[in-house]
Structure 1
Amino acid sequence: MTESPSQSAAGLPDKRQVAASFSRAADSYDSVAALQRSVGNQLLARLPAPLEPQRWLDLGCGTGHFSRALGERFAAAEGVALDIAEGMLRHARPLGGAQQFIAGDAERLPLRDGCCDLLFSSLALQWCADFPAVLGEAQRVLRPGGVLAFTSLCVGTLQELRDSWQAVDGFVHVNRFRRFADYQQLCGASGLRVLDLETRAEALHYADLRSLTHELKALGAHNLNPGRPGGLTGRARILALVEAYERFRQPQGLPATYQVVYGVLQKQP
């Protein structure tokens, strides 16, 4: 039996927990965000040319790294940076890049209709349970011809960690993500024209499991699943997890694979 897109999103974390987790991670995020920088730069390179927005929105701006990049690239445009995590906004505001920094939810944007030419969102939308609402909001706030460019994560992300935990205790200790087929179906049904939609595997390597789990916590992206196992993780379980993960070791180290979705959609002119 296949899941519907709404069913497959049902296990996504509560957005209040997401906001709180990323707020706590604001000061440590940039020090461990190499993958996030690489993926966002690849998304910038995928923006259609020519594109000269009068107003852009960095949706899920985090620490504002790409708000600043967009501000440099589109110097004549007005920039808006939006995030659900107040801690991230407090970090981003003093660094500039956008004219406005707003707290808001991608599923209910606090923006008027037809006010933006570009919605840029890198590695934020995987936390949105109602992806059709995100696409609907993009359709609403974009001007005709405007572009939604996003990256997200899909099933297969951190599969090595998921499989290792499965071997240890059978519980889900790794964040759940949508299937790529759901992104295809939902984007295709959104009313926006799909210019580009694909998934690419990005693998990072670590000396040991502790390095990976430390990085996930510093990013604010450790396990946020609803109903996740509570209480302390016993030493025996941790040792079993280390042993299970070692089976994936490669010459470069322990792999952590991210299945990254790249999407570029356009509102009909």
Structure 2
Amino acid sequence: MADQAQAGLPDKRQVAASFSRAADSYDSVAALQRSVGAQLLARLPTGLAPRRWLDLGCGTGHFSRALGERFPAAEGVGLDIAEGMLRHARPLGGARQFIAGDAECLPLRDESCDLLYSSLALQWCGDFQAVLREARRVLRPGGVLGFSSLCVGTLQELRDSWQAVDGFVHVNRFRRFADYRQLCGASGLGLLSLESRAEVLHFADLRSLTHELKALGAHNLNPGRPGGLTGRARILALREAYEGFRQPQGLPATYQVVYGVLRKEPY
């Protein structure tokens, strides 16, 4: 059974296509993604020594390479739903293999991994309960799932600015933090830590923000988004609304980042 956020999340085929198109531009604008992924690495339990790890939603493979350096004796696998990202990642190495797959239905054997690492990918999964179920299936006893994701409050400034302009869906929807807490608590995995932290980026102008979202492949993918080009008058109104949030550092864009670490209990 899908969790309650599923109906508002984008179609996986659109997600895969959007991130495939963004593969060549992603790393040039992924400073937040690198920072969050590094913080997730730092949250993994000390003394962890996996024989096999999975970078779930590996993207361009930046953290596959980081995991390969951290655990040089382990076999690594990178997995992503976007084939364009995998084509970018494979020549750069880090993992022994890079495969296409879905976090809600992993193409891996039962109890075949000691670490599942997933940074800023699982927010695109409509059924987070299925993700956790698959993690429990694939992890060996004592294995760890470490993930970062996004929750409600992400890009709230942009959402509120659009709300002042029209009633359409222009900003990606995300789960509530309470949903993550409830689903993790009911997963059958031991919850080592779960927290939400705000990360605020600043941009010189609205165009810089929207350019970054497009380069990341993370622009509006929601069902119910308006079709066609956005009219000039609405863009001008959006700019005016967003200017109300301006800070000395620039226009803020807040990301509410969820960090979770769970462990499959030993038998």
TM-score exceeds 0.5: yes
TM-score normalised per structure 2: 0.99
Match of 2:111 in 1: 114
- Whole-angstrom distance in 1 between the partners of 2:179 and 2:140: 26
Number of equivalenced pairs? 266
Residues 29 and 216, structure 2, Cα contact 8 Å, conserved in 1:
yes
Aligned to 1:8: 5
Contact 1:21 1:221 in 2 (8 A): yes
Q: Which whole-Å CA distance do the structure 2 matches of 1:111 and 1:103 have between them?
A: 11
SS of 2:4's equivalent? Answer: helix
Give me the whole-angstrom Cα distance separating, in 2, the residues matched to 1:216 and 1:157: 13
Alpha-carbon deviations, 1:194-243, whole Å to 9, x = none? 00100000000000000000000000000000121111111000000000
Q: Deviations over 1:125-147 (max 9, x none)?
A: 00000000000000000000000
Instruction: Spell out the pairing of 1:1-269 with structure 2 (5 A cutoff).
Output: 6-269=3-266
Q: In 2, Cα distance between the equivalents of 1:8 and 1:100?
A: 32
Which stretches in structure 2 are left out of the alignment for 5+ residues? none
What CA deviation, in whole Å up to 9, does each residue of 1:152-199 have, x standing for no partner? 000000000000000001212000000000000000000000001000
The separation in 2 between residues aligned to 1:231 and 1:71, in whole angstroms, is: 43
Q: Deviations over 1:88-145 (max 9, x none)?
A: 0000000000001000000000000000000000000000000000000000000000
For residues 234 and 228 of structure 1, the distance between their equivalents in structure 2, rounded to whole angstroms, comes to: 14
Amino acid in the other structure paired with 1:155: V
Q: How much identity, in percent, do the aligned residues show?
A: 87
CA RMSD for the aligned pairs? 0.9
Partners in 2 of 1:22 and 1:42 — Cα distance?
A: 23
In structure 1, the residue corresponding to 2:162 is in which secondary structure?
A: helix
Distance 1:256 1:131 in 2: 25
Please list the CA deviations of residues 34-58 of structure 1 after superposition, one character each: whole Å capped at 9, or x if unmatched: 0000000000000101100000000
Shift of 1:5: 7.5
Under a length normalisation based on structure 1, what TM-score does the superposition of the two structures give? 0.98
Kindly report structure 1 stretches of 4+ aligned residues shifted beyond 3 Å: none
Q: Which consecutive unaligned segments of at least 5 residues does structure 1 have?
A: none
Task: For 1:81 and 1:13, locate their aligned partners in 2 and report how far apart those are by CA, in whole Å.
Answer: 23
Is the Cα–Cα contact under 8 Å of residues 141 and 264 in structure 2 kept in the other structure? yes
